[in-house]
Amino acid sequence: MQTATMEVNKGDVTASIQMLLGQLLSLEAFDAVMVSGRRPNSASVMPLLISAPELLDQADPLAPSFALNAARQVGHLTRNASTQRVAAVLRPCEIRAFIELVKLKQGLRDQVLIIGIDCLGAYPNGAYEDLARQADGSLTRQFIEHHLAGESQATDGASLAKACRACENCLPDGADLAICLWGIDTDREMILQAQTDTGREMLDKLSLTEAALPAERTAAVEAVVADRTRFRDQMFAETAAATDDLEKLGRYLDRCVNCYNCRTACPVCYCRQCVFETNLFDHEPLQYLAWARRKGEIKMPNDTIFYHLTRLAHMSTACVGCGQCSNACPNDIDVMSLFRTVAHRTQAAFDYMAGRDLGEKPPLSEFREEEFPEVEGLHWSEPQS
């Protein structure tokens, strides 16, 4: 089966997803599901690995909160081949990040069934906490209703996180099973779409009714993508203008305290220990003085621009644009905009998109003989006169 309908009771999409996950566990095909949710009496939404079906009511995958990109957690769950199987409900950017990690041997793709949902986005961390408190448990419901109705502002006027507003890749393309919401009458149903063989097998087991995607879906998705692309392109232009020389870049990053939170939050920064935390950057006291002597003054801590440039060099081709770097910054540096702006170009240069396809090798791991002929210096050609 390719697509099937699943009943939604009076617009409660979350309950239907909980029911779906319950069915997966009861089929005994899975030992646990990982899904974002809230523990009792907690406002924080974090990934929960749930094996007890009765605790599935904690699952809240559509909550407009994105405190952690769970790709690395999926990596931890799938590091070795085993007969244990898990399902994971992930946002599209989490799926893409996980695929990047699989390429880097930090997880095994076929050890997990990935369930993706049309991503409506999330609020910035701080904003979510406030709104959740005010909404008293109904925030997710309100959020879904508003956003599926095509309104990008929440009831109280708060805005989605910048990363989400600029995210044009909001469909769960790499998932085994996709839960489709846009263009669908979510008051009464949601559509499940199998996107892989594993997804199809699972759909067959779930005893659902086959149903096609409604014709309105395409236009609904296009509208969201167009809106976000517009926002994204403006962000690219603004960020590029703000960082197009070393001095400006220095200003952009001048609140950086070298806490490396952005790299800790980054789902694709997969090193056990960042090179900037190794002894390579344990400079001798004399060295700082020598630098100060040469330049007159240096900003402390130093190596800040070097750190961000290095992380861009290492990771921009793997950047999925999830925005966790900006979420993690204690000094509100807009790291995400910088990363996405650069990543957009580095990925385009290699005709690569992070997380698009497991078969695409990371550009810097692959040698192609015919690459960038315009910058090769060895071929003389007759001047065209």
State the amino acid at position 204 in one-letter form.
D
- For another protein, the binding residue among 255, 301, 364, 371 (CB under 8 A) is 364
Residue with smaller CB distance to another protein, 86 or 102: 102
- Which DSSP helix (H) or strand (E) runs through 290? helix 285-295
Identity (one letter) of the amino acid at 326? S
Question: Which is nearer to another protein, 374 or 382 (by Cβ)?
Answer: 382
Task: Tell the smallest beta-carbon distance from residue 97 to another protein (Å).
Answer: 14
CB distance 179 to 189 below 8 Å = no
- Does position 10 bind another protein by CB under 8 A? no
Nearest CB to another protein, comparing residues 82 and 153: 82
Query: Whose Cβ is closer to another protein: residue 351's or residue 376's?
Result: 376
Strand partners, 50: 33
Least distance from another protein to the Cβ atom of residue 339, Å: 15
Residue-by-residue DSSP string for 122-181: ---HHHHHHHHHHHTT-HHHHHHHHHHTT--B-TT--B--HHHHT----S-TT-SEEEE-
Site for another protein in 170-199 (CB under 8 A): none
Give the C-alpha separation, 8 to 252, whole Å. 46
Q: Which H or E run includes 341?
A: helix 335-349
Q: Which is nearer to another protein, 22 or 363 (CB)?
A: 363
Q: Does 200 bind another protein (CB under 8 A)?
A: no
Nearer to another protein, 38 or 311 (CB): 311
78: nearest Cα among 34, 36, 131, 38: 34
CB of 274 to another protein, least distance (A): 6
Nearer to another protein, 275 or 349 (CB): 275
Which C-beta is closer to another protein: that of 217 or that of 314? 314
Q: Where in 251-290 is the site for another protein (CB under 8 A)?
A: 270-275, 278, 280, 287, 290
- Binding residues for another protein, rule CB under 8 A, total 27
Residue 226 or 289 having the CB closest to another protein: 289
Exactly one of 10, 41, 241, 294 binds another protein (CB under 8 A); that residue is 294
Q: Rounded distance, CA 330 to CA 333, Å?
A: 8
From the CB of 293, what's the least distance to another protein, in Å? 10
Task: Phi first, then psi: give them for residue 112, nearest 5 degrees.
Answer: -140, 140
Per CB under 8 A, 362 contacts another protein: yes
Q: How far apart are CA 241 and CA 262, in angstroms?
A: 22
Minimum Å gap between C-beta 349 and another protein is: 17
81 binds another protein (CB under 8 A): no
Distances (CA, A) of 102 to 49, 72, 74: 20, 10, 10
Phi-psi region of 235 (alpha: psi -120 to 50; beta: other; left: phi over 0): alpha
> Which residues ranging from 91 to 150 are in contact with another protein (CB under 8 A)?
104-106
- Least separation in angstroms between residue 272's CB and another protein is 5
For the CB of residue 221, give the shortest distance to another protein in the complex, in Å. 34
Secondary-structure percent of the chain, ordered helix, strand, coil, rounded to 5 = 45, 10, 45
**Would you count residue 384 as binding another protein (CB under 8 A)?**
yes
Q: How far apart are CA 335 and CA 348, in angstroms?
A: 20
SS3 193: strand
Segment 311 to 340, residues that bind another protein, using CB under 8 A: 314-315
Is residue 382 involved in binding another protein (CB under 8 A)?
Answer: yes
- Residue 27 in contact with another protein, rule: CB under 8 A: no
Segment interacting with another protein, rule: CB under 8 A, options 35-43, 90-98, 153-161, 358-366: 358-366
Give the containing element (helix H, strand E) for 346: helix 335-349
Instruction: Output the smallest distance, CB 381 to another protein, in A.
Output: 6
Which residue(s) pair with 32 in the sheet?
Answer: 86
List residues binding another protein (CB under 8 A). 104-106, 270-275, 278, 280, 287, 290, 294, 314-315, 361-362, 364-367, 379-382, 384
